[in-house]
Amino acid sequence: MKHEQQHNPPMKYGMAIDLDKCTGCGACMVACMSENNIPFREDESDKLVSISWMSVFKLTNGKAFPDTEICYLPRPCQHCEGHGGHSPCVSVCPATATDYSAETGIVSQIYTRCFGCRYCMGACPYHARYFNWWDPVWPEGMEKYLSPNVSPRMRGVVEKCSFCFHRYQLAKNKAYLNDERTVPEAAYQTACTQACPAGAIVFGDLNNPAHQVHQIVKPDPRKGNKSRNPRAFRLLERLGTNPKVYYLSSREWVRRAGDNYLAHEKTGQVSNVHH
Amino acid sequence: MDTALIPKGVRRCPMWQFLLGLGIVGAVLAWGVYAMLLCWFKGLNQTNMNNYYGFALWIWADLAVIALGGGAFFSGLLKYIIGKDELKHIINYAVLIGFICYSSALLILAIDIGQPLRGWFIFWHANIHSMLTEVAFCLSCYFSVLTIEYIPLILENRQLNKVPFFHHLSHNMHEVMAVFAATGAFLSFFHQGSLGGVAGVLFGRPFAFREGLLIWPWTFFLFTWSAAAYGPCFTLLLTWITEKVTRKKLVKDNVVELLAKISGWMILTYTVAKICDTTRWANITVPGMGQTLADFYTGNAFYGYWILFVEIVLCGVVPAIILISAPLRKNPAWRITAFFLGVIGVSLNRWVMILQVMAVPVMPFDSWALYYPSWQEVATTILPVAYGVILIMISYRYLPIFPQEAELNPIEEAATAAVEIQTDTTPDLEPAQA
């Protein structure tokens, strides 16, 4: 008896973050830390050594009052695809401790294989990678509140946002048990997406036209996945990192702050990619 | 006390003086070892590195000593492959310096990684696309080659050489040394280059990124070239320092001048290539990424255009002219100045390609990140220097590092006679006189 097997088309999980909706409340950061067992120290005043997979940057238009405008920009790992999975960090890791998944488009980090050379941190222009300078120590009793689905990281390794990959694994198992061929959109959402009170973050499969994120972004594969939405842009798009986190804003100065431009260049202009 | 171990026909300082020197440098070494142990047992929180500065002082030191140790492979190439036979009088020292530099580099890497016990993962789980993997493989292999090149020198110790097996082993290893020199040059080409590639492939960092040939960014070739050009400067500078410390002429001027001249031409060609690379990068690569040169050299308290001037003109063009010009090259003061500038230049280049890369902001709303090392970082960086000095002291005392030393510093008859008379009356002084 001939059994025909069909494979699901590859997914490309990504995000659309509406900066016009973001209030900078930081709920996404808190949710992320809680969900992913992110360690913290008693004194977190030095932000250069603290870990926050999701960081919120504060942008200003540089104008004096009353024309001052503020924008908050949440920055998770951008899960860059680069050119054919050649993301800045994945290609440099000497021990294959970070990988680009062709199945999901998620850039993973294998903590038990990472030996802490930090080359990936140097390669990432978004500073989305963090080093565990200390062993994780939680206040007494708090270890009971840790998520059993996410392994805590040891001192001396690099970590970063995983798009809550453990949630994908759980959703995939559930879909399998329910005899579903694909993971439903609502079944796999990141913690930051769910925590955002303004609904500024939309998460899903960029390859799936049924998913909201696809409908918002409308990625154009012929132009390196650049968005067809005039409000959308990606961080440092012209470097060729090909990230899967898209930002939306109606304000031109915000869109311009997403990339480097020469004085005469128009916002959104992307010249030849150099690799 | 150790007369029997000292090479024939040369003088060495008294034992107490040697031990005193060893003790002083040993104290510095112990300080470095203490800092190293702190880093290993307490972790990299002992450093001032942070999430913006994942690469810092150590990686600079690592790249710098590897570049400076390039004198070993290039001198070997010149002597054994190109046939510059005069260089046999300095090749031993070049090998010793190379051995020190590369063993130091490996030690620094062992301290620098967050999980030292997993260091072997770089070989076991090797990512063939990573420049760092290539560095690890070629560096380890070349260190083995340097060890093989250093072993015959150890076996030439007066006492070891009396053992027939060691004598013949040393002789036979010398016979086949051209094979190892060629292997060393081949491996060096790749690991020096891949160290350049470490920065050049960072397409997320416009300050470091370079286009190139096939999979190799231009920095790949520039790093190899600069190591070959400036490495001999370091060998010659250390030779001069050793001569000053021992108060002896150890290598004839014609040997020094030959290597200096070759180094000069290499520096000149490298500097031309570097200027071409910088010009193309500043005018095509960087604007293509939406940035200008001013983004990298203004807006912070330290990194300015002066770096370009110092690296390319003061430490590139100037030493090249000095070493190429015969009258200047023959003048010891100018020559040493050129060596010194060369060493500064290549070290500065490695600094720029590591630390400035980390400092420059890439996202428009990000800011410059400056960093200063902790004492533990400084101590562990000085550690290899102390280790190197100790190894040079021991090697110089007991091994025939400088083949021309006896000829250049003959022990006069009268002095020898006086020694003999003294030896007869006071046997305890024998080691000092020998």
Whether B9 is covered by a domain: the verdict is no
Percent of chain B residues topping a pLDDT of 90: 86
Mark yes or no for CB contact A49/B211 under 8 Å. no
pLDDT digits 0-9 by tens, A50-104: 999 999 999 999 999 999 999 999 999 999 999 888 999 999 999 999 999 999 9
Give the Cα separation of B263 and B269 in Å (integer): 10
Whether A264 is covered by a domain: the verdict is no
List CB contacts (< 8 A) between A256 and chain B.
364
Mark yes or no for CB contact A95/B127 under 8 Å. yes
Average pLDDT in chain A: 93
Mark yes or no for CB contact B51/A48 under 8 Å. yes
List CB contacts (< 8 A) between A158 and chain B.
114
pLDDT digits 0-9 by tens, B233-248: 999 999 999 999 999 9
Give the Cα separation of A173 and A191 in Å (integer): 18
User: Is pLDDT of B85 > 80?
Assistant: yes
- Tell which of A96, A107, A270 to mutate to test the B interface (max B CBs under 10 Å): A96
Whether B179 is covered by a domain: the verdict is yes
> What was the pLDDT predicted at B415?
53
Mark yes or no for CB contact B132/A117 under 8 Å. yes
User: Is pLDDT of B363 > 80?
Assistant: yes
Angle in degrees, 0-180, between the axes of helices B253-280 and B332-351, rounded to the nearest 10: 40
List CB contacts (< 8 A) between B204 and chain A.
88, 123-126, 236, 239, 241
Total structural domains in chain A? 1
Pairing, β A226-227 against β B216-217: unpaired
Whether A164 is covered by a domain: the verdict is yes
Q: What is the CATH number of the domain that holds A115?
A: 3.30.70.20
> What was the pLDDT predicted at B430?
37
Pairing, β B212-213 against β A98-100: unpaired
Give the Cα separation of B167 and A51 in Å (integer): 59
* A205, β-bridge pairs: A13
User: What's the distance, CA A89 to chain centroid?
Assistant: 13
Min Cα–Cα distance to chain B from A204, Å: 25
- 3-class DSSP state of B356: helix
> What was the pLDDT predicted at A8?
75
Q: What is the mean pLDDT of residues A110-119?
A: 96
Give the Cα separation of B306 and B285 in Å (integer): 21
List CB contacts (< 8 A) between B133 and chain A.
94
- 3-class DSSP state of B177: helix
Min Cα–Cα distance to chain B from A129, Å: 7
Nearest chain A alpha carbon to B293 = A262
**In this structure, how many other beta carbons lie within 10 angstroms of the beta carbon of residue A144?**
7
Asked if B220 and B212 count as a contact pair (C-beta separation under 8 A), the reply is yes
Average pLDDT in chain B: 92
Whether A231 is covered by a domain: the verdict is yes
Structure tokens that stand for B51 in this block: 């999430």
Q: Domain residues for B279?
A: 16-400
Asked if B96 and B401 count as a contact pair (C-beta separation under 8 A), the reply is yes
* A58, β-bridge pairs: A72
Q: What is the mean pLDDT of residues B161-166?
A: 93
User: Is pLDDT of B412 > 90?
Assistant: no
Give the Cα separation of A113 and B118 in Å (integer): 8
Q: What is the mean pLDDT of residues A139-152?
A: 93
Asked if B212 and B277 count as a contact pair (C-beta separation under 8 A), the reply is no
Going along chain A, which residue ranges are E strands? 13-18, 55-60, 70-75, 98-100, 107-109, 129-131, 158-160, 201-205, 219-220, 226-227, 232-233, 245-248
pLDDT digits 0-9 by tens, A30-51: 999 999 999 999 999 999 999 9
Residue type, A227: S
Q: Domain residues for A68?
A: 13-256
Q: Which of A123, A133, A157 sits opposite B45 (nearest CB)?
A: A133
Instruction: Output the furthest CA–CA distance in chain B (Å, rounded).
Output: 82
Whether A129 is covered by a domain: the verdict is yes
Structure tokens that stand for B263 in this block: 């180094």
State the Rg of chain B over Cα.
23
Q: Which of B131, B211, B366 sits opposite A92 (nearest CB)?
A: B131
Q: Which of B43, B125, B136 sits opposite A96 (nearest CB)?
A: B125
User: Is pLDDT of A1 > 90?
Assistant: no
> What was the pLDDT predicted at A22?
97
Give the Cα separation of B230 and B267 in Å (integer): 7
The DSSP 8-state label assigned to residue A265 in this structure reads P
At a CB cut-off of 8 Å and minimum separation 6, what does A224 contact? A240, A242, A270, A273
Whether B97 is covered by a domain: the verdict is yes
pLDDT digits 0-9 by tens, B268-294: 999 999 999 999 999 999 999 999 999
Mark yes or no for CB contact A94/B133 under 8 Å. yes
Whether B25 is covered by a domain: the verdict is yes
pLDDT digits 0-9 by tens, B310-325: 999 999 999 999 999 9
Whether A109 is covered by a domain: the verdict is yes
Total structural domains in chain B? 1
Asked if B120 and B364 count as a contact pair (C-beta separation under 8 A), the reply is no
Whether A273 is covered by a domain: the verdict is no
Min Cα–Cα distance to chain B from A176, Å: 32
Give the Cα separation of A3 and B158 in Å (integer): 79
Whether B2 is covered by a domain: the verdict is no
Asked if A275 and A240 count as a contact pair (C-beta separation under 8 A), the reply is yes
On the question of a cis peptide bond just before residue A66, with omega within 30 degrees of 0, the verdict is yes
The DSSP 8-state label assigned to residue B209 in this structure reads -
Q: Which of B119, B132, B290 sits opposite A119 (nearest CB)?
A: B132
Q: What is the mean pLDDT of residues B57-70?
A: 94
Mark yes or no for CB contact B204/A59 under 8 Å. no
Band (A191; pLDDT cuts 50, 70, 90): very high
Q: What is the CATH number of the domain that holds B220?
A: 1.20.1630.10
> What was the pLDDT predicted at B411?
83
> What was the pLDDT predicted at B103?
94
Whether A275 is covered by a domain: the verdict is no
Q: What is the mean pLDDT of residues B161-174?
A: 92
Burial class (CB in 10 A: 0-12, 13-18, 19+), A259: buried
